[in-house]
Structure 1
Amino acid sequence: MAKRRTNLSEGKQNIIAALINEYDIKSAEDIQDALKDLLGGTVQSMLEAEMDNHLGYEPYERSENSNARNGRKSKTIRSKYGEMEIDVPQDRESSFEPQIVKKRQKDISQIEEKIIAMYAKGLSTRQISEQIEDIYGFEVSEGLVSDVTNKFLPEIEDWQQRPLSNVYPIVFIDAVHFSVRENNVVKKLAAYVILGINDEGHKEVISLQIGQNESSKYWLGVLNELKNRGVNDILILCADGLSGMKEAVNVAYPNTEYQRCIVHQVRNTLKYVADKDKKKFAADLKTIYQAPSETLAHNRMEEITEKWEKIYPNAMRSWSTNWDVISPIFKFSTDVRKIIYTTNAIESLNSTYRRLNRQRSVFPNDTALLKALYLATFEATKKWTMPLRNWGKVYGELSIMYEGRLK
């Protein structure tokens, strides 16, 4: 008979064999029950050992210590294997501070971290409560879920007010829309994510804003907040056609180059085009934004407008209207264009936010939405450890193009 291959040591194999024999294991559920029993016994043994160490002598030994054991107190704790009862040893002076399961601690499964991770993925308090019960076999109230996530509110407030860098070479602003309930009425709110590229080429979420009406007044308030947090200069600000943005940028940061997102511009244009013509129309638009110079790009825009205006009279109108905020990209090299060409730097973050929409169709209030956005942002940005590609070249070009404004 062929010998079974295993990476387990002989000692571990003996433990498993003894476990199977002791608990008469025949199913995966039997394994869970056995591990639960062993965990409870291990915790109990460690508590007894901690008490021995605290008093300085073992049970039934003589000692001159005035303190002594004083019975046990039953306690229900939660673990990844479910709930279990343990008996916490007590001492006469009530000076015993257990470490394996601390006083008032009822959970050893790191359930708070699991709740936070689920909330960051967009699950509602009810869904989290149901999943915890399904997976771990004990109840977690919706109130507890809210209490756990509410602990982040002061942290969110501090994060939104933290000091920022003096100069950001590039800043992106984009919006994702969510449904939020207010006074029993569901309304659409925009979550605006403001992402900066700092002078080392690293992406950094500067702020999250939840707004209802875009206007120059609203955006001026947002930009003034950035100034109050220490942002004295932005070289290039990239955004979609957010209402009032251009006017607000001109007031708050008059030296900042406002660049319209080209991909959004193309998408908005193709909304006017029938499906049968979209491929050809998109190919024509590509010759505009990939042109080697602004003059050639403008000529192509006029040619494409003339070509298609009889069939789609409104499609190209926004190109000529917004040419002043479309055209800045043409003075840069390909390396810089690849960064400011679109809000791609922010799209991966937005995809995380859109998953919140898929998981949760309606948020109960603005605060719940802000908590979910913050936690999702925190998870997504853990991977942001490297600067943007070719940042050295980009930084050098920006230093020349905007002389004296970078360090």
Structure 2
Amino acid sequence: MAKREKKPVHKVVMTEGKRQIIQQLLQEYDIETAEDIHDALKDLLGGTIKEMMEAEMDDYRNGYKEKTVNSSYGSMRIDVPQDRKSTFEPKVLKKRQKDISDIDQKIISMYAKGMTTRQISATLMDIYGFEASEGFISDVTDKILHPILYIDAIHYSVRDNGIIRKMAAYVILGISCEGKKDVLTIEVGNNESAKYWLAVLNSLKNRGVKDILIISADGLTGIREAIQTAFPKTEYQRCIVHRVRNTLKYVSDKDRKAFANDLKTIYNAPNEEQGRANRDRITEKWSEKYPNAMKRWERDWDVITPIFKFSANVRIVIYTTNAIESLNATYRKLNRQRSVFPSAQALLKALYPATFEATKKWSMTIRNWGQVYGELSIMYEDRLPE
């Protein structure tokens, strides 16, 4: 029996050109799995075929025909190639296709990643084969509005100039007008200050965030001043969950449950006046045993009180970080996987795919969002779309 001839093993030669293409591919697409690679290459294949078809029909081209397509944020006009026999069938935007609403979300996603309108326009041409004007892109991103925004931090050990120290990764998560969660940015901060937070918030403004009704965060140094400067109409709400946790640090285990139940009477009070009365009663009750526990409740009262204008169901959405806890659980896995990150940049590179993995499962709206949106619309009149 004749031996089957072995096929030669193809050896992959990594040239500089290939390496650059791979780097561009990784930057252009959120590649995490083999399926992602397949989807990216399929997308590129479609563009390549389109370019080949364009070249093939040069002899038959009969100019371009203007076409209006609609999106959820308005209409735009594009030029599509025509041929004399009308046999050319475009694949990206079909002849009778009039709606490209899904493009809007891609535009917003690119804008949220820091791309300029010019870069987005060029990317749409590269991937989808048509040109969207910078004006159209601005119209789309001008609509970005987040009624509620949360800022939270996860701490990691990072090597900085040969020294291992703790660094905070700040996650900024927004709730859209549709009640959907969206990670707007991740920042690895060296030091908190009003200057630092103003730069972060201005970055959001430059990327299209036009208004925020409420920002919920812990006591970040300088955040209050930065909000007043960047978004003067935005209310700053101290996160009650963080406030309770920080208070209970001063309390022994045997008293923790009773103390926590007392604190609930503050933020569940029917109005601010009753909340203040409950705060003062708790301070007096526990002051001898825990003299420092309630000091920050009195000091920060003005940024605790915004919740009292809302009903109980709406308060829970606003003052807690429940919306971000599932994301934090994903981030905490990184601490278990790697005790020390070699640099802040390496930490960011680990956070981005972790974010993608967590957020791709987000499809549900915030619980009781209809009621939340209704109350926000009344309390912040003329700032939310009807």
TM-score (normalizing by structure 2): 0.65
Paired residues of 1:116 and 1:375 also in contact (CA < 8 A)? no
Determine which of 265, 276, 291 is the counterpart of 1:298: 276
The letter of the residue matching 1:386 is: M
The letter of the residue matching 1:401 is: M
Q: How does 1:8-407 map to 2 (within 5 A)?
A: 73-75=8-10, 113=33, 160-162=113-115, 165-407=143-385
* Distance in 1 separating the partners of 2:254 and 2:32: 52
How far apart are residue 173 of structure 1 and its match?
Answer: 0.3
* Distance in 2 separating the partners of 1:379 and 1:165: 26
**Alpha-carbon spacing, 1:187–1:116, altered in 2? closer, same or farther (3 Å):** farther
User: Which secondary structure does the structure 1 equivalent of 2:355 belong to?
Assistant: helix
**Alpha-carbon spacing, 1:164–1:269, altered in 2? closer, same or farther (3 Å):** farther
User: Which secondary structure does the structure 1 equivalent of 2:113 belong to?
Assistant: helix
Q: Which moved more, 1:189-198 or 1:275-284?
A: 275-284
How far apart are residue 292 of structure 1 and its match?
Answer: 1.1
Q: Percent sequence identity over matched residues?
A: 62
TM-score (normalizing by structure 1): 0.62
**Alpha-carbon spacing, 1:379–1:298, altered in 2? closer, same or farther (3 Å):** same
Between Structure 1 and Structure 2, how many residues are aligned?
268
* Distance in 1 separating the partners of 2:11 and 2:232: 63
**Alpha-carbon spacing, 1:323–1:112, altered in 2? closer, same or farther (3 Å):** closer
* Distance in 2 separating the partners of 1:180 and 1:157: 28
Q: Deviations over 1:305-330 (max 9, x none)?
A: 01111111110000000000011111
* Distance in 1 separating the partners of 2:221 and 2:211: 22
**Alpha-carbon spacing, 1:318–1:164, altered in 2? closer, same or farther (3 Å):** farther
User: Which secondary structure does the structure 1 equivalent of 2:316 belong to?
Assistant: helix
* Distance in 1 separating the partners of 2:332 and 2:199: 26
The letter of the residue matching 2:33 is: E
**Alpha-carbon spacing, 1:167–1:180, altered in 2? closer, same or farther (3 Å):** same
Paired residues of 1:178 and 1:190 also in contact (CA < 8 A)? yes
How far apart are residue 341 of structure 1 and its match?
Answer: 2.3
User: Which secondary structure does the structure 2 equivalent of 1:383 belong to?
Assistant: coil
Paired residues of 2:151 and 2:216 also in contact (CA < 8 A)? yes
Q: Deviations over 1:157-199 (max 9, x none)?
A: 9753055853210000000011111222112110000000011
* Distance in 2 separating the partners of 1:379 and 1:164: 28
The letter of the residue matching 1:180 is: V
* Distance in 2 separating the partners of 1:271 and 1:210: 26
Q: Where in structure 1 are there 5+ consecutive unaligned residues? A: 1-40, 46-71, 78-110, 118-155
* Distance in 2 separating the partners of 1:113 and 1:340: 35
Q: Where in structure 2 are there 5+ consecutive unaligned residues? A: 13-30, 38-108, 116-140
Paired residues of 1:176 and 1:354 also in contact (CA < 8 A)? yes
What is the root-mean-square deviation in Å for CA atoms of aligned residues? 2.5
**Alpha-carbon spacing, 1:116–1:261, altered in 2? closer, same or farther (3 Å):** farther
**Alpha-carbon spacing, 1:112–1:167, altered in 2? closer, same or farther (3 Å):** closer
Q: Deviations over 1:257-307 (max 9, x none)?
A: 110000100011111112221111111111111111111110000000011
**Alpha-carbon spacing, 1:164–1:178, altered in 2? closer, same or farther (3 Å):** farther
Tell me the equivalent position of 1:107.
none
Q: Deviations over 1:325-365 (max 9, x none)?
A: 01111110122112112111011101110110111100111
**Alpha-carbon spacing, 1:221–1:317, altered in 2? closer, same or farther (3 Å):** same
